[in-house]
Amino acid sequence: MSAILETRALCKSFGALTVADNIGFRLEAGARHALIGPNGAGKTTFINMLTGRLAPTSGQVVLGGEDITRLAQSARVKRGLGRTFQINTLFRSLSVLDNVALGIAERRGVAGRMWRPASGYRAVRDEAMAFLESLGIAADADARVLDLPYGKQRLVEIAIALGLKPRVLLLDEPAAGVPKVESELILEVLGRLPADIAILIIEHDMELVFRFAKRITVLVQGQVLVEGTPDEIGADRRVHEVYLGEGHAHA
């Protein structure tokens, strides 16, 4: 199969500290792939290099066959690379609808228009409403984000990224900080995401990872330890040792 997103020998160091060490990673088209690893394994650094928030020290990031290593964030987004954030990164005092509409307007190339009211751009608004409906938060369209409960804010986080119609969607701990009841809701939403979007999820909630992902990559100290199906990862002794429960490692 062809990889939609690929990294080749990706390295990042901050002085003497190496946080990404020769990472070779492939995300297949339409994948449901999870990236796991203990705290400080370099997961967020890896995501930031994919999206362009951080420049790698060496190596390449390739999206759909094109080397995007040197491209700015906005150029990567235009090529179909969307992301969500581990910590809510929203337009807090704007309405839920506007949060999603902003990204849609950027994608449609109308976000810089000055002479007509935004409310006149019906297509943008209707599309934003459609995304809110698909995530079950259409009733909150007019509410300001800061007035929403945390779980719903996590859904807005996903809705904004979906509005960009990405080919690749990076989900950085979508259920972080969400109570158990609501994380079930988020899992359900993730399950309904369009099949043609390749999804890479970073998550600490192992139950969510094993239910959602078809493939799992384990990152330890900036290196890929192992990659495989959930069954293979669940059975891998090294993974148990470093990650899944150090207590059972020598049992």
Q: Which is nearer to other proteins, 27 or 128 (CB)?
A: 128
Can you read off the two tokens belonging to residue 13? 């160091």
Beta strands in 162-222 (DSSP E): 168-172, 198-202, 215-220
Q: Which is nearer to other proteins, 15 or 109 (CB)?
A: 109
Contacts of 241 (CB under 8 A, 6+ apart): 249
Q: Using CA atoms, how far apart are residues 148 and 188, in angstroms rounded to an integer? A: 20
Contacts of 183 (CB under 8 A, 6+ apart): 175, 205, 208
Least distance between other proteins and beta carbon 86 (Å):
12
Least distance between other proteins and beta carbon 62 (Å):
19
Least distance between other proteins and beta carbon 222 (Å):
23
User: Amino acid identity, residue 149?
Assistant: P
Least distance between other proteins and beta carbon 138 (Å):
12
- Dihedral of alpha carbons 110, 115, 117, 123, sign: negative
Which residues of the chain form contacts with other proteins (CB under 8 A)? Answer: 51, 53, 73-78, 82-83, 85, 89-95, 97-98, 101-103, 105-107, 110-121, 124-125, 128, 141-142, 144, 160, 163-164
